[in-house]
Structure 1
Amino acid sequence: MSLPTERNSECAPASRGRCELEDSLEILRNVSVFAGIPLPRLKLYAYLSRKMCFQAGEFLFHQGDSGDRGYIVISGRLQVIRELKEHSVLLHEFKPGDFFGGMALLSDVNRLFSVRAVTSAECLSLDRESFRKLMIQFPEIAFKVLDMMIRRIVNMEEKLLQTQISEGVRG
């Protein structure tokens, strides 16, 4: 399912004098998942990515939605929210340089959380189809994304276990 925000939030062309491709390349070079990829390959990722803008309060996606994009925060702040039956829980806040949504690049899975812009935000995004085409040609990026996702899952499990242990000790 493609969300309206994903269709309508492309940023207006920048008039800063720098080429958009150069900007995207610089952003990718500063993200650990993409750092270390040879420049010619990284240029392909930069070419296939696109900038998206979001207003404060706007959701990039909602928990449970199907998604096919990964994001890198260029500017602004984004909240990661887990929606429960009676309330929502703020899990994390993304800031410039953070990469998220990697699972959607690797597989057709539903989003585990919602992401909402706290301030006006700009992100660089890459879609699954483009990512997979490049991953087939250059598989090293897939291992980096998998490693990052596994580390995040282990970190979440550790926090969950610590919370359960703390509540068990108190209860």
Structure 2
Amino acid sequence: MALNEEVNVLRQVPLFSCLEPLRLKKLAFASQRMHYDPTEVLFQQGDDADKAYILISGRAEILADGASGDIRIAELPPGSIVGEVALLCGGLRTATVRALEPLDVLAIEPQDFLAVLSEDRGACVRMMRVLAQRLAVTTSDLIAARAELAQSQDGSAT
């Protein structure tokens, strides 16, 4: 893939959509194109956070360890970014990401990802919005799961 094609891929990611062309080129140049076959793992829950990934083509799934096996959290379409939260927080991956079909990604190193955020206030604000939206969805899901659990416990108690 030519540099201009990678720039166009980055431009489609909401987090990077408002970056200046020069910054997009710099980020595209610094990123690494990688390919994963179906069922191949990009990263495993508990791994060190070493890269963020932008899906160029193909789909992936996010999985978390559960008591009876993997729990599917979400499916990621092309244009998604994954792994960026772990780069911001540091530490270990909180979920596993696995290819569902042939998958091409751009892998971004932490220093390049953080440089974009530190150099571009707009990107930083967009990242905060993305994280706030994810937190709102997670909170809503947690409330619904707790209500469902309480209802099932009430039903079994009678």
TM-score using structure 1 length: 0.82
Deviations 1:82-101 (A, max 9, x none): 11243111111111111111
Residue 128 of structure 1 corresponds to 110
Residue 159 of structure 1 corresponds to 141
The answer (yes or no) to whether the contact 2:18–2:123 under 8 Å persists in 1 is no
**Percent of matched pairs sharing the same residue:** 25
Summarize the alignment of residues 63-142 of structure 1 with structure 2, pairs less than 5 Å apart.
63-142=45-124
Greater Cα radius of gyration, structure 1 or 2: 2
Residue 44 of structure 2 corresponds to 62
RMSD (Å) for aligned C-alpha atoms = 1.6
Report SS of the residue matched to 1:32: coil
Deviations 1:83-140 (A, max 9, x none): 1243111111111111111113323121111011111101112110122234333333
Report SS of the residue matched to 1:154: helix
Matches of 2:126 and 2:87 in 1, distance apart?
Answer: 12
The answer (yes or no) to whether the contact 1:103–1:109 under 8 Å persists in 2 is no
Residue 25 of structure 2 corresponds to 43
2:121 pairs with 1:145: no
Report SS of the residue matched to 2:33: strand
Matches of 1:131 and 1:84 in 2, distance apart?
Answer: 30
Q: Which runs of 5+ in 1 are unaligned?
A: 1-13, 15-19
The answer (yes or no) to whether the contact 1:102–1:149 under 8 Å persists in 2 is no
Q: Which runs of 5+ in 2 are unaligned?
A: 154-158
